Amino acid sequence: MHSWILPCLLGGLTLATPTFAQNEDDPYAYPDDESSEPKKPARHQREPDEDRPYAYPDEDKQPEHQRAQRRRKTREEDRSKEFREVSEEQDEKDFEHLSNTDDPNTGVAFEALGGVMFLSSPRGTLLGDPLAAVGGRFTWEYGRLLNTEALRETLWFDVRYTYAGQREGTALIVGDTRLHYATIAPAYELTFGEGSDYGIYAQVGGGIAYEHTTLEVGGKQTPVDGFKSLIQYGVGVRGRTRLSMESNVRLSWRLELMRFRRGYQDDTFMGASLGTAF
């Protein structure tokens, strides 16, 4: 009886389906794990270099010194842009203007002037009697005190002296008139572009006119003197031509049309001036 039990057990084990245990330590792989993993770039593909300068289409055809000059210009423009952005963010009170440092000129000029003075005439002429007129003036650009680039050479004033004389009459009666004009007149100038040394201006001011008249009748002279207040106004063209790049001295000149209102009379001056500006 025991002899057939052992063969039966061995046969049952041989025909049974084998069972394998699953390794619980391995992580479960989800179907979309492979798609979510970042793909590594291929070895033959290189990441773009952000520090590499931009290559213009025709840069490869240009000589090396031209390409270096273009890259240097680009860097300078970037630095200028950054400086402007920073200066705009700063408070205006904390920003130091360097206008006076960049241009150390004092804004002072001395000029000699000459032209034609048309004196108001009782004969009813259009402009008046033309007389030769000479004089001089001192100019100061007081806009430099404001230390603002836009107003440095825009605001200025003149201290001016002008002389004109007239002598006419007959052999028996002669009239000799001498006129002296002294005025102070502020002006506002519009330059021909930013940083230009040339511009047009309008001027209004005031002063006094001293008139000395001598009436001579038969060799006997009768002097008459008097002062009158006056108003000066007019327009002109002004220039400050640079004489040398190494010096601040400039050639100052003007062309102008001015009127002097003294009492009920209007005297018109047309002339030019030439001098030196510092």
- Average pLDDT, stretch 29-35? 54
DSSP symbols for 217-231: ETTEEEEEEEEEEEE
Tell me, what's the pLDDT at 144? 84
Average pLDDT over residues 159-188: 93
What is residue 54's DSSP assignment? P
Per-residue pLDDT band at 257 (split at 50, 70, 90): very high
Per-residue confidence (pLDDT) for residue 262, from 0 to 100: 93
What does the pLDDT look like over 218-246, one tens digit per residue?
888 899 999 999 999 999 999 999 888 77
Q: How many CB atoms lie within 10 A of CB 234?
A: 19
Q: What pLDDT sits at residue 21?
A: 47
- 45-90: pLDDT as tens digits: 555 555 555 555 555 556 776 777 777 777 777 776 776 676 666 6
| pLDDT of amino acid 250 | 92
Mean pLDDT of the chain: 79
Could you tell me if 172 and 182 are in contact, meaning their C-beta atoms sit under 8 angstroms apart? Answer: no
Residue 137 pLDDT > 90, yes or no?
yes
Please choose, from the candidates 78, 97, 95, the residue with its C-alpha nearest in 3D space to the C-alpha of residue 87.
95
Q: Which of 7, 24, 10, 258 is nearest to 135 (CA)?
A: 258
- The first and second tokens of residue 202, run together, are 């309008």
**Domain spanning 99-277, CATH class:** mainly beta
The answer to whether the CB of 256 falls within 8 A of the CB of 239 is no
**pLDDT of residue 12 exceeding 80:** no
Q: What is the pLDDT of residues 107-133, one digit of tens each?
A: 899 999 999 999 987 776 677 889 999
Q: What is the arithmetic mean of pLDDT over 181-203?
A: 93
- Region 157-186 average pLDDT: 93
What are the structural domain ranges in the chain?
99-277
Q: What pLDDT score does 53 carry?
A: 57
Q: pLDDT by residue (tens digit) across 196-224?
A: 889 999 999 999 999 999 999 988 889 99
What's the pLDDT score for residue 237? 98
What is the C-alpha separation between 148 and 42, in angstroms, rounded?
A: 60
